[in-house]
Chain A
């Protein structure tokens, strides 16, 4: 029955165990980037559905007290440089699947109802900071431009060429802002002035700084998931 010549001190079961262990070792040892990416793709649809399930427009995330704000905890992360933006030249373009595409200057944008939120800003890197962002709701901007029924995503472009793409529900969440103030002060350039995204329901890399263009879209163009998402971060990024 036993045609395999096994070392006399190993029985069949021990061989099976050794094979199992070496197989595991091989699996973990050869975790190439490609294989890791596959693993991520395996769970992303499930994790995305889970994330989408939790986002409800009527469900507001509780705010933190003013005393909890910790300005030093907010670290500066940028993939490239802080772009120089002339406030007089600055225009925010809103286009795509909307009835009334427009270009607005800063003066026009300050006409939108201003609000603020004290929230926890959570970075994908594991740090978090409680900050107050002030600005206007993205949904108020949407009311002006009237997205068509075909709009399912919102794409953001920034002055530093950073790109992002969001699901419509998160973009229209009442706590999602285009912010121009930080902790009660005008937004500093390195934090994204004149306009950046802020919301308590997404990770920091979704919160583009120096936003110059908001595009409502029926689908995400190939390669346009976002700067970090194209390199492996999960697209939904909901928290």
Chain B
């Protein structure tokens, strides 16, 4: 990072590659959620056929087959984006610098600087969503091919538990989108948010 006068911290900058992946994840996440809720409605996870279902306007695809078309097309974009991002942070060692670290933990436990603490919370939250997204993929795969990947489906105890876990990644992701947006602004102002979206 450039050395600049204390008063104006460096303008955060993100590699274009990361901005593109970030956008792809946002778009594919919302398509996965909309089409996933369409599939949910065919047999609600909670309450079965007579259970409460989601209003049509939050769903994507028009009906079950359409929802499945969107879901099983976008799953490739969603999963491959995460995979490419994973390889990228490994190769660039970004995982050491850009994610929740021991220093963040220390800042949260004993730190006195409120700005540093907010920043650490921000890093903790966006680091924490990654295992949730991976769980969404693996629980989804376990439901997509439960017979061929019986070893994977078996880890989720039974069908109802598997469906419940896969579904829970939806409210968690939506809550994350909200909290991540707020924390991004609190940690670095709109400047930080803009740095992730501006071409």
With an 8 Å Cβ cutoff, the count of chain A residues facing the other chain is 39
Any B CB within 8 A of the CB of A39: yes
* B62:A33 contact, CB within 8 angstroms: yes
Q: With A43-B76, A200-B147, A238-B148 known to touch, is A126 a contact of B40 (CB < 8 Å)?
A: yes
* A127:B48 contact, CB within 8 angstroms: yes
B159 contacts which of A120, A201, A232 (Cβ < 8 Å)? Answer: A120
For the complex, what is the distance from the CA of A24 to the CA of B61, rounded to whole Å? 15
Rounded to whole Å, the gap between the CB of A75 and the closest CB of chain B is 7
Chain B interface helix/strand/loop/mixed: helix
Q: Which residue on chain B has the smallest CB distance to residue A13? A: B198
Give 6 pairs: A residue, B residue, CB < 8 Å, sorted on A: A28-B60, A40-B70, A61-B147, A232-B65, A234-B69, A239-B147
Q: Mark B160-199, 1 if CB is under 8 A from A, else 0.
A: 0001000000000000000000000000000000000111
For the complex, what is the distance from the CA of A75 to the CA of B43, rounded to whole Å? 11
Any B CB within 8 A of the CB of A17: yes
A125 contacts which of B42, B66, B148, B198 (Cβ < 8 Å)? Answer: B42
Which residues of chain B come closer than 8 Å to A127, judged between CB atoms? 43, 48-49, 159
For the complex, what is the distance from the CA of A200 to the CA of B76, rounded to whole Å? 25
Q: Name the residue among A24, A40, A119, A200 with the largest chain B CB count within 10 angstroms.
A: A40
* A126:B39 contact, CB within 8 angstroms: yes
Any A CB within 8 A of the CB of B150: yes
Residues of B within 8 A of A (CB): 27, 30-31, 34, 39-40, 42-43, 45, 48-49, 60-66, 68-70, 72-73, 76, 144-148, 150, 159, 163, 197-199
Residues of A within 8 A of B (CB): 13, 16-17, 24, 28, 31, 33, 36-37, 39-40, 42-43, 46-47, 51, 54-55, 61-62, 75, 119-120, 122-128, 200-201, 228, 231-234, 238-239
Q: Which residue on chain B has the smallest CB distance to residue A61? A: B147
Which residues of chain A come closer than 8 Å to B27, judged between CB atoms? 24
Q: With A46-B76, A123-B43, A238-B148 known to touch, is A36 a contact of B70 (CB < 8 Å)?
A: yes
* B145:A39 contact, CB within 8 angstroms: no
For the complex, what is the distance from the CA of A125 to the CA of B64, rounded to whole Å? 7
Rounded to whole Å, the gap between the CB of A13 and the closest CB of chain B is 6
Q: With A36-B61, A127-B48 known to touch, is A234 a contact of B72 (CB < 8 Å)?
A: yes
For the complex, what is the distance from the CA of A103 to the CA of B34, rounded to whole Å? 48
Which residues of chain A come closer than 8 Å to B144, judged between CB atoms? 239
For the complex, what is the distance from the CA of A51 to the CA of B144, rounded to whole Å? 10
Q: Which residue on chain B has the smallest CB distance to residue A124? A: B64
Q: Name the residue among B34, B48, B63, B70 with the largest chain A CB count within 10 angstroms.
A: B70
For the complex, what is the distance from the CA of A16 to the CA of B34, rounded to whole Å? 25
Rounded to whole Å, the gap between the CB of B54 and the closest CB of chain A is 13
Rounded to whole Å, the gap between the CB of A238 and the closest CB of chain B is 7
For the complex, what is the distance from the CA of A62 to the CA of B31, rounded to whole Å? 34
* A120:B147 contact, CB within 8 angstroms: yes
Q: With A125-B42, A239-B147 known to touch, is A31 a contact of B60 (CB < 8 Å)?
A: yes
